[in-house]
């Protein structure tokens, strides 16, 4: 899943992991047999907003060198 999300991001698409859902309801909606267990979903599309630049601490603020 992480590789699919990274590939989507590389193509300019937005996505994320969704693992909190009712597996039995998902199985029924998707018509999956009882032997199949859905474990994760990912929406895929163009984001409505542009992400803000990440504010990161400088490395020296995180790493203590002796």
3-state DSSP assignment of residue 28 = helix
* pLDDT score recorded for residue 66: 79
Token pair for residue 63?
A: 């790493």
> Residue 43's pLDDT band (boundaries 50, 70, 90)?
very high
With a CB cutoff of 8 Å and minimum separation 6, the contacts of 42 are 1, 4, 5, 8, 15, 16, 17, 18
Please state, in angstroms and rounded to a whole number, the distance separating the CA atoms of residues 36 and 12: 31
Which residue matches tokens 């995180």?
Answer: 62
3-state DSSP assignment of residue 32 = coil
Note the pLDDT tens digit of each residue in 1-28: 999 999 998 998 989 899 999 999 999 9
* pLDDT score recorded for residue 53: 84
């Amino acid at each position: 899943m992480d590789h699919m999300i990274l590939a989507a991001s590389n193509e300019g698409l937005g996505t994320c992991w969704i693992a909190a859902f009712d597996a039995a309801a998902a199985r029924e909606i998707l018509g999956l047999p009882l032997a199949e267990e859905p474990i994760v979903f990912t929406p895929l599309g163009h984001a409505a907003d542009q992400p803000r630049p990440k504010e990161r601490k400088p490395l020296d603020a995180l790493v203590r060198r002796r």
